[in-house]
Structure 1
């Protein structure tokens, strides 16, 4: 297999988010980090298992994204909350983290709610479409592709994998591949049987978010059950 064919095979579309740098219009069609304003009439900021308000982490307006992951293609707005104390990796959603999906804008009420203890600075997000590739160690490569890449190395066509995989996106993103700091768990069953990686929120000095030590919060969804799974690692 040629270098170009390998590069094409490891490449995936992704929506990458840039934090701030523009004046928000404060409409429902905008995506935010550190702020959630979309709720059902009966909803508020969720409470964690200690009885504390969770931190509003993100609000993503899906329809206008340049790339939409198939597992959220019928979702209009997705909101994310997390406890001040991180949950265990792969802990079930509910007591320490919550994702809410809204299929219709008709059920949305805009509420001015915040958590005074939140350290995450709110910023609007600008979305753009990019290509993404997996990291080498458990990042989503199949065994067959790993063999093809090792053959290119052995033949002297490349020195190592990152000669061709030079476009991994480490930012906040939807789609593509997780930005593992340690040995990864792939993009599929490592998150749990039937789960597939969908999006990540990563450490970001601008918004005052540090996932333990420059890690990322990685979220996967099960298409059959519609459940979500959360994994994170760090340096």
Structure 2
């Protein structure tokens, strides 16, 4: 490996991010519904399930932020959020509220379990594992560091892909795990992977990415194989 490219990779190692990675199943659920879950959520009294095209949406993922070992800046004033998805189709690149929706709660007070809804998916509680070495993918990494020297060095390129950890499942914080192209690191908050135990898949084993702007606007995108 050339010295210049080796220095670039060393610099990249200083740019690795911490993240909270979801552990799905393998442990018993809590009696408290106000915890992190796939396919189970809570709401304020009378709020109920959100509706899209006349049909209720379901809670795909609930995140309780004080359970996260790593909390992104965008969630510092959020006690709990619930991501909803419709039962009809994946709303690829649609704005917030069009087939998907995120509800945020500043406090856990008064939240109660949502009514059950029939879906093809399986509910599982979620625990969060702390990692401190999440690396960006190739395209997103260019927004972090100039990879020109690495691009011209085969050994360094192999090292970029083989020697850095990228967590492709459901996670909060870190870098988005790109599949086809850059997913965008600016304003990235969390991603939802294709979770086998939940029977959830974004098209062909894809990943859904969720970003939140400084103005509080959520956006969704997805990549798959």
Please give the TM-score of this superposition, normalised by the length of structure 2: 0.88
Q: 1:4 aligns with which of 10, 35, 39?
A: 10
Match of 1:44 in 2: 48
Alignment of 1:40-119 (within 5 A): 40-49=44-53, 51-106=54-109, 108-116=110-118, 118-119=119-120
- CA distance 1:159–1:99, shift in 2 (3 Å): closer
CA RMSD, 1 decimal: 2.0
Match of 1:229 in 2: 219
Match of 1:204 in 2: 195
Q: Distance in 2 between matches of 1:233 and 1:159?
A: 23
Cα contact 1:56–1:115 (8 A) shared by 2: no
Cα contact 2:34–2:111 (8 A) shared by 1: no
- CA distance 1:214–1:87, shift in 2 (3 Å): closer
Q: Distance in 2 between matches of 1:217 and 1:119?
A: 18
Match of 1:27 in 2: 32
Deviation at 1:133, TM superposition (A): 0.6
- Structure 2 residue matching 1:90: 3-state secondary structure: coil
Q: 2:166 aligns with which of 149, 168, 181?
A: 168
Match of 1:193 in 2: none
1:84-138 deviation digits (Å, cap 9, x = unpaired): 23354331111311100000122x321241211x1121000111111211111x3
- Structure 2 residue matching 1:126: 3-state secondary structure: strand
Deviation at 1:203, TM superposition (A): 0.7
Q: Distance in 2 between matches of 1:128 and 1:186?
A: 23
Q: Distance in 1 between matches of 2:76 and 2:89?
A: 28
Deviation at 1:33, TM superposition (A): 0.8
- CA distance 1:4–1:229, shift in 2 (3 Å): same
Q: Which runs of no fewer than 5 residues in structure 1 stay unpaired?
A: 189-195
Tell me which stretches of 4 or more aligned residues in structure 1 moved more than 4 Å.
none
Deviation at 1:149, TM superposition (A): 3.2
- CA distance 1:8–1:229, shift in 2 (3 Å): same
Q: Distance in 2 between matches of 1:26 and 1:57?
A: 19
Q: Distance in 2 between matches of 1:211 and 1:88?
A: 10
Cα contact 1:78–1:102 (8 A) shared by 2: yes
Deviation at 1:142, TM superposition (A): 1.9
Please give the TM-score of this superposition, normalised by the length of structure 1: 0.85
